[in-house]
Structure 1
Amino acid sequence: MEKPTQLKDLDRIIELGKHIRESERPNAFIEFVNERDFYQYYLMRDNGMIEFTYTVADGEYYFLNKVNLTNKGHDFLDTFENKDDYEEIKEFAKKKGKRLVDLPLDIAFKIGTKWLENQMGL
């Protein structure tokens, strides 16, 4: 049975964001995006982390056009891309009784930002 494609995957969102930042030029074109990844890109766009337009081929693959990481996207990656920090942020959320990966993206980002502020003594 095929897994549902409309599930948020925070780990994959971080991976895709890192790929855009490290490997793609401004106004990038990303080819052959499957439905699962497209949904993660869509969530990133919906939360103001990236900008893009898209087309669909054969109802199966997406082609992203004019892909750009926004300031919010850079801030999101600065908060979550370090694996040790990410694990500590997950623990921080767990101490509050929540799993970070189950929270809405904007709330997860706020928790990560709060953790980072605490680490910096702000």
Structure 2
Amino acid sequence: MAVTILTIDDSKPLRIFVERTLSAFDCEANESNNGFNGFFAIERARPDLILLDVVMPVMGGLEMLERLKASPELKAIPVIMLPSPGDHAYMEEIKTLGADDFLMKPFTAEALLEKIRSFVTLKARK
């Protein structure tokens, strides 16, 4: 069964970058543009891993992370936060709220794959 990864970020170019990076693997890449819509995407996709932006409209990543980790059904899903350089003020809160890891923007495809592989196994498409 393919790994399912959900990217929640208000930057469409970043979501496309993640999808293209994962396209070489037997992986289902899903996306959402904010935390509020992200919960609907979680219901549909049942991801094995979530890549989560910090600052977004409607519901930001910190609020979403807090809700995810408080939910008995969702707290086991690993979350890699994707902070921007301007998000340094949130780093302690990211750790306190229970993020499993983080990857500072901007990042390379190789760095993204390295982080993802620390949580799930990616198999090349045949």
Same fold (TM over 0.5): no
Larger Rg: 1
More RCO (CA 8 Å, sep 6+): 2
TM-score (normalised: structure 2): 0.28
TM-score relative to the length of structure 1: 0.29
User: By percentage of residues, which structure has more helix?
Assistant: 1
